[in-house]
Amino acid sequence: MEVIPQSSVIGAEVRGLDLSRRLDGETRARLNQAFLEHQVLFFRDQQLSPQQYNDFAAGFGPLKDYMFAAGMDGFPYITEIIKTETETESFGSFWHSDSAYTERPPKITLLYARQVPPRGGDTLFADMYSLYDELSDGLKAALAPLRAINSASVVPRDEGIYQAVKSRNSAHSNQFAIHPVIRRHDETGRRAVYVNGIHTLRFEGMTRAESLPLLEFLFQRVTRPEYSFRLRWQADTLAMWDNRCTQHYALNDYHGYRRVMHRIIVEGDMPE
């Protein structure tokens, strides 16, 4: 197994593994260590059946279905995300961490590219450890006791965006959860900023108007290039990212082409 870092802070390509085969304990331990170190891993040229993909993901913890989308027939934890040739809206084209409005947001998200456009459709990832580390001591102290209300309804859910993922439970768009603004990673012990522009509504005990100046400051810092890594998808690429300490943004720059991705999420603990 070879791990090739892609930037100074986040992202690595893993070579030498065939994920269709069951990994032994030592290999899986090395893979998990690389994952904790780099936060985003990707694997090229993986030929996986739905069952093999499901089994690989399940090795990292219990799988969780997606509240707003039905799974594939026979595989309830695999969400098929499709943008057709005629659609202009894209799924996930905002900086965010997945499902922060749930009590136990995903620990890991996996995405497997089944069909990709000839160009475009990259995904950007940002390192929330580095964002936290570079805040001033005063701001760290101010943020440490704060908790944020994260809601599924901060950004309106355009039905056109969700048609391709078999939208369901739209009545639950008022779903919300309250989490620490600064999250301690349950495996590494490191601290990361845990607010994002499409789910975080306000700080607990404050109005949205009172909260937005500081939230907007944090949202803007997520976009700084020194925290980021850009993944260029190829067919049969599988990527996995640590939802506890990263954010991501799916670029919507491939109108007129079909894109098919299969997503799985691994259940996480309650953020602390």
Catalytic residues: 96, 98, 248, 263
Please give the Cα distance from 31 to 13 (Å, whole number). Answer: 11
Query: What six digits make up the tokens of 166?
Result: 């078999």
- DSSP-derived pairing of the beta strands 40-43 and 12-15: parallel
For residues 36-71, one letter each, b for 16 or more C-beta atoms within 10 angstroms of the residue's C-beta and e for the rest, the string is eebbbbbbeebebebebbbebbeebeebbbbebbeb
User: Could you tell me which residues come within 8 angstroms of residue 57 by beta carbon, excluding any fewer than 6 positions away?
Assistant: 63, 77, 108, 110, 264, 266
- What are the DSSP E strand ranges found in the chain? 2-5, 12-15, 40-43, 63-64, 79-83, 106-115, 123-127, 147-151, 176-180, 182-184, 191-193, 200-203, 228-231, 238-242, 246-250, 259-267
Q: Which of 251, 248, 252 is nearest to 95 (CA)?
A: 248
CB 182 within 8 A of CB 191: yes
Query: What six digits make up the tokens of 95?
Result: 């900086």
Query: What six digits make up the tokens of 231?
Result: 């993944």
CB 122 within 8 A of CB 233: yes
CB 150 within 8 A of CB 157: no
Please give the Cα distance from 183 to 129 (Å, whole number). Answer: 10
